[in-house]
């Protein structure tokens, strides 16, 4: 076996579970997630010259995200998180849920962009702390702490608007 083939196999072994887990969370279909995981690594292998350095994980997750979006566009299937996001923001119909949805938007709007984006990555898009750390180049513990602080800040802003 050549050194290049061995390197590609090692790259796949190191990242396949992360890519598969990300895709599975986004589409809730094991078969589709497995197919798109394979496509992600095929695309990555064919486009190694497109990798400009930085985080390999972020690059792979971007490829997998784009493949999933392309799949949904072709199938005209709605994004998996649209209904769950609507449920989070407005779980019931009625005036109380509208007020709650407005409070969520206002609380998020009052937060610094970095904290708001972190909450969206973790709680809306479903990335794990490990995945966010890989995307940003930060340590996982740093991301955990920043997420906790952002959640606490969101809670403070939200409670101030719902009292």
Block residue for tokens 């690059």: 59
Q: Which position has the higher pLDDT, 153 or 2?
A: 153
Domain edges within the chain: 3-75, 81-162
pLDDT higher than 50, residue 7 = yes
How many beta carbons lie within 10 A of that of residue 114, not counting itself? 11
As a CATH number, domain 3-75 is 1.10.1740.10
CA 80 to chain centre: 12
Angle at 118 between CA 83 and CA 44, to 5 degrees: 80
Q: Is 61 exposed, middle or buried (0-12, 13-18, 19+ CB in 10 A)?
A: buried
For 8-31, write each residue's pLDDT tens digit. 788 889 999 999 998 988 888 899
Residue 149 has a pLDDT of: 92
For 56-72, write each residue's pLDDT tens digit. 888 888 889 888 878 87
122-136 as b/e, with b when 16 or more CB fall inside 10 Å?
A: beebbbbbebbbbbb
Topology classification of domain 81-162? Arc Repressor Mutant, subunit A (1.10.10)
User: pTM here?
Assistant: 0.50
Residue 155 has a pLDDT of: 85
For 103-156, write each residue's pLDDT tens digit. 778 888 888 988 988 888 788 777 788 888 877 778 999 999 999 999 889 888
């Amino acid at each position: 076996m050549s050194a290049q083939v061995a390197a590609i196999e090692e790259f796949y072994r190191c990242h396949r579970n992360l890519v598969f887990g990300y895709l599975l969370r986004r589409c809730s279909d094991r078969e589709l997630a497995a197919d798109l995981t394979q496509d992600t690594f095929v695309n990555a292998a064919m486009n190694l010259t497109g990798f400009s350095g930085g985080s390999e994980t972020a690059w792979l997750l971007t490829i997998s995200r784009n493949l999933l979006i392309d799949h949904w566009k072709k199938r005209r299937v709605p994004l998996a998180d649209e209904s769950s996001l609507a449920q989070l923001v407005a779980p019931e119909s009625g005036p109380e849920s509208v007020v709650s949805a407005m409070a969520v938007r206002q609380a998020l709007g009052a937060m610094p962009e970095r904290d708001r984006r972190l909450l969206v990555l973790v709680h809306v898009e479903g990335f794990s702390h490990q995945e966010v750390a890989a995307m940003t180049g930060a340590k996982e513990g740093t991301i955990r702490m920043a997420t906790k602080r952002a959640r606490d800040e969101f809670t403070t802003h939200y409670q101030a608007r719902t009292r």
